[in-house]
Amino acid sequence: MRRFAAFLAVDWSGARGARHKGIALAIAPAQGGPPALLAPPHPGGWTRPEVMALLARLEAPTLVGLDLGISLPFLDAGAFFPGWDASPSDARALWALIDGLCRDDPHLEAGGFLAHPEAARYFRHGAGIEGDRFLHPQAANREGRFRLTEAAQRAAGVRPVSNFNLVGAAQVGKSSLTGMRMLHRLGGRMPVWPVDPLPDDGPVVVEIYTAIAARLGGVAGAATKLRSVEALNDALDRLGSPPVEGSGVIDDHSSDALITAAWLRRMHGEQDLWHPQGLTPDVARTEGWTFGAF
């Protein structure tokens, strides 16, 4: 397994606006020590373009985990958007389509894509407000479509939400769409596994799901959020990481990033996670995969 110098976890946000308290970045050095939060360059939280600029500057061999979906379901229907003649053939073409339809949206927002009369048909936009193509004709329930990696996540004991669902606290649809805009704009400067092969050196991006890291940190039950420094340090201890300083309340965006950075450091050497059973070349180029789901 290749060696990384650092492990960077990004808790992302798809919310409207420039600066976001919901974006948190944490880094865990390969040589050990507690994970640490990265402060935004200006008060008020990170902007998505600032995160993109930071990633574009990375040169050290860093494993970057993004807490968002790097693609949409494809294999279940043979297309991202069945019935739409503009439906792309792979993940990179999907990113380009989304970014192109959002060219007038500031801050890497995705409103332009979701307002497009064809694209809008595939999403759940609000309580009781669904596009007529939100559900696959053979859907067994009303949760929406899922990627193969999300089925693997469910088998691991966590409950992902369809990336076509834009409703509720657990939804990651908006985060995923804004994240895909960023991935498109990063272009070939940073490989995205498994859409791209794992490079021999330099930084690489993987999709993460912070709930998987929390599970390995001993967090049980339906809730996987760590809301105190004490609970965070208990989970870090289970991951073989030194504790962070402080005590009392911590926001869950910061704790998600901190525990996932430590988890990436702990788990990146597990070969099975780079070769999950369901990851075929067709899955890799279309739907991608979540690191840690197997």
* Pairing label, strands 36-37, 6-11: unpaired
The pLDDT of residue 214 is 85
> What are 25's two structure tokens?
């970045």
**Interval 238-251 mean pLDDT:** 96
The alpha carbons of the chain give a radius of gyration, in whole angstroms, of 18
Q: What are phi and psi of 206, to 5 degrees?
A: -130, 155
Question: pLDDT tier at 251 (50, 70, 90 boundaries)?
Answer: very high
- Pick the range with the lowest mean pLDDT from 110-124, 141-155, 272-286: 141-155
User: Is 80 exceeded by the pLDDT of residue 1?
Assistant: no
Spans of all domains in the chain: 6-70+189-274, 91-183
**Interval 49-76 mean pLDDT:** 97
To the nearest 10 degrees (0 to 180), the angle between helices 91-101 and 173-186 is 100
Q: How far is CA 283 from CA 148, 158, 191, in A?
A: 8, 21, 16
The residue length of the chain stands at 294
- The string of pLDDT tens digits covering residues 184-199 is 999 978 999 999 999 9
Sheet (strand 24-29) strand order: 36-37, 24-29, 6-11, 62-66, 204-207
Q: How far apart are CA 105 and CA 123, in angstroms?
A: 19
| Beta carbons of 208 and 266 less than 8 angstroms apart | no
**Interval 37-45 mean pLDDT:** 95
- The string of pLDDT tens digits covering residues 150-172 is 999 988 788 899 999 999 888 89
Residue type, 243: P
Q: How far is CA 188 from CA 1, 192, 194, in A?
A: 22, 9, 14
Residue ranges of the alpha helices (H) in 123-172? 148-155
The pLDDT of residue 284 is 98
- The string of pLDDT tens digits covering residues 262-282 is 999 999 999 999 999 999 999
> What are 46's two structure tokens?
């990170």
**pTM of the predicted protein model:** 0.96
